[in-house]
């Protein structure tokens, strides 16, 4: 992970990830949310739009799978064969 974008005012901290005693990478651990956080009402329309877009994407994916005979489990098997 590129550490440079995370400045001292980032809402969390970078922590090294160690494997076999060596630092292999970094992970970002966000600060906890405030205990009484509530979803801002002005964001409901955005959440509704996002949910609708995900539903459309899901429908398109199912249509492609049905029309072209593509199955997710077959795709995963294929990826396991070609990826190291």
Tell me, yes or no, whether 63 and 84 share the same domain. Answer: yes
**Domains of the chain: total:** 2
pLDDT at 78 over 80: no
pLDDT at 41 (0 to 100): 95
pLDDT at 50 (0 to 100): 95
Tell me, yes or no, whether 30 and 42 share the same domain. Answer: no
Tell me, yes or no, whether 74 and 51 share the same domain. Answer: yes
Taking residues 46-50, what's their average pLDDT? 96
CB neighbourhood size of 19 (10 A): 8
Q: How far apart are CA 28 and CA 17, in angstroms?
A: 10
Tell me, yes or no, whether 43 and 24 share the same domain. Answer: no
Pairing of strands 12-19, 22-30: antiparallel
Tell me, yes or no, whether 82 and 63 share the same domain. Answer: yes
Q: Hey, is 9 helix, strand or coil?
A: coil
Full domain range(s) for residue 25: 1-34
Tell me, yes or no, whether 55 and 79 share the same domain. Answer: yes
- Computed over every residue of the chain, the mean pLDDT equals 82
Tell me, yes or no, whether 84 and 52 share the same domain. Answer: yes
Tell me, yes or no, whether 47 and 82 share the same domain. Answer: yes
């Amino acid at each position: 992970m590129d550490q440079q974008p995370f400045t001292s005012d980032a809402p969390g901290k970078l922590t090294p990830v160690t494997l076999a005693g060596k630092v292999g990478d970094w992970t970002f651990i966000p600060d906890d949310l405030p205990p009484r956080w509530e979803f801002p009402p002005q964001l409901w329309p955005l959440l509704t739009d996002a949910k609708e877009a995900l539903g459309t994407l899901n429908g398109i994916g199912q249509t492609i799978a049905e029309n072209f005979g593509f199955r997710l489990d077959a795709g995963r098997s294929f990826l396991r064969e070609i990826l190291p």
